[in-house]
């Protein structure tokens, strides 16, 4: 039987290993869980339809990713009896004024036809925004997307690890074993991939999320994901706890010390979106997002028996599960839903 070794188990490696093990193949995973691993640091928003990005290869991937999520999570949680923190409470996308809201509504609702999993798309007045998310400012009108969701990267990885072990795979919390590896080796090393290969060239972006607690409970309901103005977003991370982000900083550095300046900036943003709340216990989590030159994930052989998946960028948690499914089919010589040749060179 074919053997597979996976080096690096953020969402890319863990998802591929899980799908291979579930298909009955022998899989061994090595992961050293570097500080700055993108998957655990991620906000975990699954709402690709609202992006203004026009690249069709990227869109096909994340659209299929969002479509696959509910089924994937159902199977994983049922098999492992672990919660991944997946929830679909919708997404509120805020806009500066009614004119921009209208344009955005047209643009987003035009995607519904090809993506029924988006659910309903509605315009919300400022008052309706406040009714759905009582902490949030009533400064802006919004578009609500019913199918918007959120996943907890850390819980998802824990469940995937359990799933891999359940289906007979092995997982070692360490660097790549020094002995010669047999079978197909899959490198999914995220920002650290330069230690092995230059194809694809992987760059990284430092991203910071400010986590915080609010002084009082206004609601016991789960609140939707909030896509703020510009690149800002807000997520609920637990009872009365939230996170806001992110910063985007292209860098060669692996320094993960939080920046005081960014922390101040994110705190100001948190106060702007939650103007009536007192924000306590805040801290910054830093992650390294891996990118390729064209900001598209790379999936392909770089030499015989060596397959690389990397550059998942800012939507890696959305795409990760379906990448696992598709790469597994590709490696086993089965038909894939996506054309994987769109993602290699
Ligand atoms: C702050 C932040 C917010 C984000 N928000 C979102 C979001 O809302 N929605 C979304 O879809 N995506 C989001 N992303 C993007 C997403 O998190 C990433 O695209 C994705 O996690 C990348 O996964 P990966 O497996 O490629 O890399 P990583 O998760 O970084 O995993 C790489 C792993 O390889 C291991 N490794 C490296 N070298 C070796 C070696 N030699 N031996 C063993 N192990 C090794 C590392 O230790 C690490 O565990 C966000 C990212 C960040 C940082």
Span 176-226, pLDDT tens digits: 766 677 899 999 999 999 888 888 999 999 999 999 999 876 655 689 999
Specify whether 81 is located in the same domain as 159: yes
Residues enclosing ligand 1, CB less than 6 A?
Answer: 7-13, 30-34, 37-39, 41-45, 175-176, 188-192, 195, 207, 209, 245-246, 287, 289-290, 310, 312-318
Structure tokens at 15: 């998802």
Residue identified by tokens 């990760």 is 320
Specify whether 337 is located in the same domain as 218: no
Specify whether 24 is located in the same domain as 171: yes
Does residue 133 lie in a domain region?
no
CATH of the domain at 266: 3.30.9.10
Specify whether 220 is located in the same domain as 81: no
- With residue 186 as reference, give the H or E element that holds it: strand 184-187
pLDDT of residue 219: 57
For 107, 229, 261, the CA distances from 55, given in Å and listed in that order, are: 15, 22, 33
pLDDT of residue 195: 84
Rounded-to-integer distance, Cα 174 and Cα 247, Å: 30
Among 204, 251, 284, 316, which residue has the most ligand 1 atoms within 8 Å of its CB, making it the best to mutate? 316
pLDDT tens digits, 140-184: 999 999 999 999 999 999 999 999 999 999 999 988 766 677 899
CATH of the domain at 19: 3.50.50.60
pLDDT of residue 103: 98
Candidate from 52-66, 212-226, 273-287, 297-311 with smallest mean pLDDT: 212-226
Rounded-to-integer distance, Cα 229 and Cα 212, Å: 20
Neighbouring C-alpha atoms within 13 Å toward the C-beta of 202: 25
- With residue 307 as reference, give the H or E element that holds it: strand 306-310
End residue of a domain, out of 257, 276, 291: 291
Structure tokens at 11: 């969402």
pLDDT of residue 180: 75
Question: Which residue minimizes the CA distance to atom 18 of ligand 1?
Answer: 316
pLDDT of residue 178: 61
pLDDT of residue 181: 78
pLDDT of residue 198: 86
**Does the pLDDT at position 297 exceed 60?**
yes
Does residue 36 lie in a domain region?
yes
Rounded-to-integer distance, Cα 145 and Cα 45, Å: 13
pLDDT tens digits, 231-270: 899 999 998 999 999 999 999 999 999 999 999 999 999 9
- Looking at the structure of the chain, the number of domains it has is 2
For 98, 112, 132, 137, 202, the CA distances from 123, given in Å and listed in that order, are: 10, 14, 13, 16, 39
Instruction: Answer yes or no: are the C-beta atoms of 310 and 298 closer than 8 Å.
Output: yes
Specify whether 9 is located in the same domain as 59: yes
111 Cα to the center of ligand 1, angstroms: 28
End residue of a domain, out of 276, 291, 306: 291
**Does the pLDDT at position 314 exceed 60?**
yes
**Does the pLDDT at position 320 exceed 60?**
yes
pLDDT of residue 231: 87
Domain span including residue 176: 3-87+148-201+293-343
User: What is the average pLDDT across 315-337?
Assistant: 98
Helix, strand, or coil here: 133?
coil
For 7, 59, 118, the CA distances from 56, given in Å and listed in that order, are: 29, 5, 18
End residue of a domain, out of 254, 273, 291: 291
Does residue 179 lie in a domain region?
yes
Specify whether 188 is located in the same domain as 53: yes
Does residue 104 lie in a domain region?
no
With 0-12 CB in 10 A as exposed, 13-18 as middle and 19+ as buried, what is 272?
middle
Does residue 16 lie in a domain region?
yes
Instruction: Answer yes or no: are the C-beta atoms of 284 and 258 closer than 8 Å.
Output: yes
Candidate from 112-126, 271-285, 321-335 with smallest mean pLDDT: 271-285
Specify whether 286 is located in the same domain as 242: yes
Specify whether 197 is located in the same domain as 212: no
Top mean-pLDDT range of 52-66, 207-221, 267-281 = 52-66
Question: Which residue minimizes the CA distance to atom 40 of ligand 1?
Answer: 175
Residue identified by tokens 């430092």 is 206
Question: Nearest CA to 343 among 310, 304, 296, 287?
Answer: 296
Average model confidence (pLDDT) for the chain? Answer: 95
Nearest ligand 1 atom to the CA of 246 is: 1
Does residue 155 lie in a domain region?
yes
153 Cα to the center of ligand 1, angstroms: 9
Specify whether 64 is located in the same domain as 53: yes
Does residue 259 lie in a domain region?
yes
pLDDT tens digits, 79-138: 999 999 999 999 999 999 999 999 999 999 999 999 999 999 999 999 999 999 999 999
Among 34, 42, 157, which residue has the most ligand 1 atoms within 8 Å of its CB, making it the best to mutate? 42
Does residue 265 lie in a domain region?
yes
pLDDT of residue 196: 82
Structure tokens at 97: 């004024």
Neighbours of 107 (CB within 10 A): 13
Specify whether 304 is located in the same domain as 172: yes
Neighbours of 245 (CB within 10 A): 25
Instruction: Answer yes or no: are the C-beta atoms of 225 and 317 closer than 8 Å.
Output: no
Specify whether 277 is located in the same domain as 161: no
37 Cα to the center of ligand 1, angstroms: 5
Specify whether 160 is located in the same domain as 263: no
């Amino acid at each position: 039987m074919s053997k597979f070794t996976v080096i690096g188990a953020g969402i890319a490696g863990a998802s591929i290993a899980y799908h291979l093990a579930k298909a009955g193949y022998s899989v061994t995973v090595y992961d050293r869980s570097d500080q700055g691993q993108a998957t655990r640091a991620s906000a975990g928003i699954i709402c690709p339809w609202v992006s203004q990005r026009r690249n069709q290869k990227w869109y096909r991937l994340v659209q299929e990713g969002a479509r696959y999520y509910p089924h994937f999570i159902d199977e994983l949680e049922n098999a492992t009896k672990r919660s991944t923190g997946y929830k679909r409470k919708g997404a509120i996308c805020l806009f500066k004024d009614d004119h921009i809201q209208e344009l955005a509504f047209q643009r987003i609702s035009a995607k519904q036809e090809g993506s029924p999993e988006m659910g309903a798309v509605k315009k919300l007045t400022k008052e309706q925004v406040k009714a759905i998310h009582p902490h949030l400012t009533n400064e802006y009108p919004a578009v609500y997307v019913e199918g918007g969701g959120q996943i907890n990267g850390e819980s998802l990885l824990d469940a995937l690890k359990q799933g891999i072990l359940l289906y007979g795979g092995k997982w070692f919390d360490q660097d790549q074993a020094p002995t010669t590896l047999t079978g197909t080796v899959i490198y999914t090393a995220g920002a650290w991939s330069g230690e092995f290969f230059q194809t694809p060239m992987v760059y990284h972006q430092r991203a910071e999320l400010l986590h915080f607690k609010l002084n009082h409970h206004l609601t016991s309901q789960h609140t939707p994901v909030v896509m703020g103005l510009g690149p800002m977003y807000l997520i609920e991370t637990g009872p009365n706890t939230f996170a806001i982000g992110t910063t985007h900083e292209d860098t060669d550095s692996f320094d993960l010390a939080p920046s005081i300046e960014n922390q101040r900036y994110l705190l100001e943003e948190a106060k702007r979106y939650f103007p009536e709340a007192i924000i306590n216990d805040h801290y910054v989590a830093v992650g390294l997002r891996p990118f390729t030159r064209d900001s598209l994930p790379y999936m392909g052989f770089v030499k015989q028996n060596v397959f690389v998946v990397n550059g998942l960028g800012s939507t890696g948690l959305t795409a990760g599960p379906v990448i696992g499914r598709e790469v597994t089919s590709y490696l086993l010589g089965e038909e894939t839903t996506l054309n994987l040749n769109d993602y290699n060179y």
